[in-house]
Amino acid sequence: MPTSIDIRQLNARIEAETGFITDLVEGMNRTIVGQKHLVNSLLIGLLSDGHILLEGVPGLAKTLAIKTLASLIEAQFGRLQFTPDLLPADVIGTQIYSQKEEAFRVKKGPIFANFVLADEINRAPAKVQSALLEAMQEHQVTIGDDTFKLPEPFLVLATQNPIEQEGTYELPEAQVDRFMLKVIIDYPTLEEEKRIVRAHINDSFPKPMPVIDTQRIVQARQLVKEVYIDERIEQYIADIVFATRYPEQYKLQDMKDYISFGGSPRASINLALASRACAFIKRRGYVIPEDVREVAPDVLRHRIGLSYEAEAADIKADDIVREILNRVEVP
């Protein structure tokens, strides 16, 4: 167990290393009005090597956010617009026969980038979704007989529309589980909307300039791994996830009928990783319960299976997470 001196030293190192966080947030705020939660979630995903599923109506700056982040980090950006006729080869790449060389050449797909925007992921058939999700999990892609490593850092931001479910293929539970966070973004406030309109009329959005390189992100990830999680925090994380599986053990009998299945061990792992990144962003070398509570809704909302009773009673996963956070004892 680290001593208070170790924690102080770690705090000092984190304080020295997190200057780029301020630069990134300021850079994002110059291009994007509002959407603070989205920006924060992108940073958590980036620092803890997790992927993000975004849900929100069109036009809420989902694409702009990831493009801006890629520009600020001097990273490669790839975009995939998912459609029902998309093939796995369109995502990962394919082999092309070269007459000149009389051999097959590998043509890499748009997934070979640091930041990949998978737009409207639920519009593509399952085989395309699984090709993307294999790449997300393994950080590598197989084309023909060759296996290629994907660049570091590698972050997939997948979006899906909550409306217009005609002609969409819902993501299977096992695939949704691979996303570290599911972030739901809402409309801007009235004041933010006015600022957006004004900025567009005056054409006053500056072009984002790189503030750091990808190497710094890889170094920061190493430092995030050193953020201290106490045993009591580990217990708290396990309790929250167990409450989604066995609510009756946590005095949540009324929730039992609403949950068809709870979070997997991936939920606990990602809750710990995201809490660490959250503490790092706040320039702290240790995790406190507030960090866990802050990231819990995004980590858990897509991992709780709702029963028919829940749908009938109009109970959402967020309501269940909120109830669990209120009932589970805080260390």
**CA–CA separation, 224 and 214 (whole Å):** 15
**CA–CA separation, 160 and 228 (whole Å):** 35
Tokens for 14, please give them: 């984190």
- At residue 163 the predicted structure's pLDDT band, cuts being 50, 70 and 90, is low
Q: Average the pLDDT over 149-164 and give the result.
A: 85
* Residue 1 confidence (pLDDT) above 70: no
- The better pLDDT of the pair 168, 140 is held by 140
Cβ atoms of 112 and 148 closer than 8 Å:
yes
Write down the pLDDT at residue 239. 95
Cβ atoms of 171 and 160 closer than 8 Å:
yes
Do 4-205+212-217 and 228-327 come out as alike in CATH topology?
A: no
**CA–CA separation, 9 and 226 (whole Å):** 11
For 242-272, give one letter per residue: b (16+ CB within 10 A) or e.
bbbeebeebebeebeebbeebbbeebbebbb
* Residue 3 confidence (pLDDT) above 70: no
* Residue 274 confidence (pLDDT) above 80: yes
The DSSP-derived string for 246-267 is -GGGGT-HHHHTTEEE---HHH
* Residue 162 confidence (pLDDT) above 80: no
Task: Indicate the DSSP class of residue 32.
Answer: S
Phi, psi of 226 (to 5 degrees): -90, -10
The secondary element (H helix, E strand) that includes residue 81 is strand 77-81
| Domain 228-327, CATH among 1.10.8.80, 3.40.50.740, 1.10.3720.10, 1.25.40.20 | 1.10.8.80
| Domain residue ranges in the chain | 4-205+212-217, 228-327
- At residue 67 the predicted structure's pLDDT band, cuts being 50, 70 and 90, is confident
For helices 317-327 and 231-245, the axis angle rounded to 10 degrees is 130
Note the pTM of the prediction, 2 decimals. Answer: 0.89
Q: Average the pLDDT over 269-281 and give the result.
A: 95
Give 81-109 pLDDT, tens digit per residue. Answer: 988 899 999 998 988 888 888 888 888 98
Highest mean pLDDT among 54-63, 116-125, 235-244: 235-244
Q: Does domain 4-205+212-217 have CATH number 3.40.50.300?
A: yes
Q: Average the pLDDT over 299-309 and give the result.
A: 92
Give 193-236 pLDDT, tens digit per residue. Answer: 998 888 888 877 778 888 888 888 888 999 999 999 999 999 99
Cβ atoms of 159 and 56 closer than 8 Å:
yes
Average pLDDT, the chain: 88
- Residue that is written with structure tokens 């809402």 in the block: 186
The secondary element (H helix, E strand) that includes residue 138 is helix 126-138
Cβ atoms of 95 and 134 closer than 8 Å:
no
- At residue 126 the predicted structure's pLDDT band, cuts being 50, 70 and 90, is confident
